Amino acid sequence: MPTGKSSVILGIESSCDETAAAVLVDGVVRSNSIAGQDVHRLWGGVVPELASRAHQEHIVPVVHDALTAAGVRKEDLSAVAFTQGPGLVGALLVGTCFARSFAQALEIPLVAVDHLKAHVLAHFIHDVSGERTVPTFPFINLTVSGGHTLLILVRSPLDMEVLGGTLDDAAGEAFDKGAKMLGLPYPGGPLVDQHAATVDPSRYKLPVPQVAGLDMSFSGTKTAFRTIVMNGERNSPGFVQRELQHLCASLQQSIVDILLRKLAKAARTHGIDRIGISGGVSANSALRTQVQALADREGWQAHIPPFAYCTDNAAMIAMAGHYLHAKGIHAGLDTVPMPRH
């Protein structure tokens, strides 16, 4: 059990379709509980109203589970950190209201966390099982999730500058929409990764978008992919089923190429030799391998969080809460969700 001097942070995440809670003691993860929401699979995407209802059902058991697994009592907590945004407003409201009430009842500080900054801080999560090399500052991070694709210059845990981002779809959205064209269920990203695993990605060529600076675009890739799928199926019924692996590999490689090119450009432009990836799409095996290969080629250091901290989780929210709480940056009990930046 933590002593009176420890920093014991409960983190709560409810921005999309995962209800999650985690406990961090002096910056070390003691528990990381998560309840997913299979209900969205039926609809081919996240249905906001269903997400809010599922969060309401899950939040009490998930928080209970996180506290129990950490061996921490409510009275031991130093602060409650929660995702304030961006995300779905109804989903965020559940976590926000729960965190506000919890902090008020326990008379402890409330900490409002930006979900995207938390994805970056996933690099600093340590668990009791062992050591990890964390990035030194400054470093360039590529945050790639279902809703966002951002290149960020990270100067310190609380000082981040956005250098570029997607002009249209997020990388995860491009994976999921491409997967949907192939008849794969939501979220299709991990399935594309699996189907692509063993084949050469060069059979179907997708265009390389010409976007200035450090911004990115995935809409051309998506349109070209749709054309290949539709023409293939029209000319030869059963095409998608026969070519599933190659189609997945081409889609994946084209998205990874766009991401890698801009990540490398950001590092070179800013003269920084430390790069990182985080967010759900950083679970992608091709992206992980190729970011590491890029770093090896260039003599850079690559930082890639363990899988559990790539996709949405509450350990990263607690980690961000840990840094904010240490600086005395707290939120009022009247804090409301911020669905958009």
> Judged by CB under 6 A, which of 2, 187, 201, 209 binds ligand KG4?
187
Q: Do you find a cis peptide bond into 187, omega within 30 degrees of 0?
A: yes
> Judged by CB under 6 A, which of 10, 176, 221, 276 binds ligand KG4?
176
Of 224 and 277, nearer to ligand KG4 (C-beta) is: 277
Shortest separation between residue 15's beta carbon and Zn ion, angstroms:
7
Q: How far apart are the first and last CA of the chain?
A: 38
Q: Which of 218, 57, 27 is nearest to 127 (CA)?
A: 27
Shortest separation between residue 311's beta carbon and Zn ion, angstroms:
7
Interatomic CA distance for residues 92 and 283, integer angstroms: 24
Q: Which of 2, 105, 7, 9 is nearest to 314 (CA)?
A: 9
Of 85 and 189, nearer to ligand KG4 (C-beta) is: 189
The binder of 85, among ligand KG4, Zn ion, none, by C-beta within 5 to 8 A per type, is none
Shortest separation between residue 170's beta carbon and ligand KG4, angstroms:
7
Interatomic CA distance for residues 294 and 307, integer angstroms: 20
Of 2 and 188, nearer to ligand KG4 (C-beta) is: 188
CB 167 within 8 A of CB 217: yes
Shortest separation between residue 313's beta carbon and ligand KG4, angstroms:
8
Between the alpha carbon of residue 34 and those of residues 58, 66, 84, 287, the distances in Å are 9, 9, 18, 24
Q: Among the candidate windows 189-197, 204-212, 268-276, 294-302, which touches ligand KG4 by CB under 6 A?
A: 189-197
Shortest separation between residue 294's beta carbon and ligand KG4, angstroms:
18
Of 176 and 312, nearer to Zn ion (C-beta) is: 312
Of 2 and 147, nearer to ligand KG4 (C-beta) is: 147
Q: Write out the binding residues for Zn ion, residues 120-149 only, by CB under 5 A.
A: 145
Of 78 and 253, nearer to ligand KG4 (C-beta) is: 253
Using CB under 6 A as the binding rule, whether residue 281 contacts ligand KG4 is answered as yes
Of 78 and 245, nearer to ligand KG4 (C-beta) is: 245
Using CB under 6 A as the binding rule, whether residue 284 contacts ligand KG4 is answered as yes
Please provide the DSSP assignment of 226-291 as one string.
Answer: HHHHHHHHHHSTTHHHHHHHHHHHHHHHHHHHHHHHHHHHHHHHHT--EEEEESGGGG-HHHHHHH
- Exposure b/e, 40-77, CB count within 10 A at least 16 = b: beeeeebbbebbbbbbbebbeebbebbbeebebeeebb
Q: Write out the binding residues for ligand KG4, residues 288-317 only, by CB under 6 A.
A: 311-312
Across the beta sheet with 79-85, the strand order is: 110-114, 79-85, 8-13, 19-25, 28-35, 126-127
Interatomic CA distance for residues 319 and 50, integer angstroms: 28
Using CB under 6 A as the binding rule, whether residue 190 contacts ligand KG4 is answered as yes
Using CB under 6 A as the binding rule, whether residue 196 contacts ligand KG4 is answered as no
**Residue where the block lists tokens 């250091």:** 301
Residue type for position 145: S
The binder of 175, among ligand KG4, Zn ion, none, by C-beta within 5 to 8 A per type, is ligand KG4
> Judged by CB under 5 A, which of 312, 314, 321, 323 binds Zn ion?
312
Q: Write out the binding residues for ligand KG4, residues 143-172 only, by CB under 6 A.
A: 145-147, 172
Interatomic CA distance for residues 315 and 313, integer angstroms: 6
Between the alpha carbon of residue 61 and those of residues 34, 64, 124, 206, 318, the distances in Å are 10, 5, 27, 45, 18
Of 78 and 145, nearer to ligand KG4 (C-beta) is: 145
Using CB under 5 A as the binding rule, whether residue 173 contacts Zn ion is answered as no
Question: Can you give the binding site for ligand KG4, defined by CB under 6 A?
Answer: 16, 145-147, 172, 175-176, 187, 189-190, 193, 279-281, 283-284, 311-312
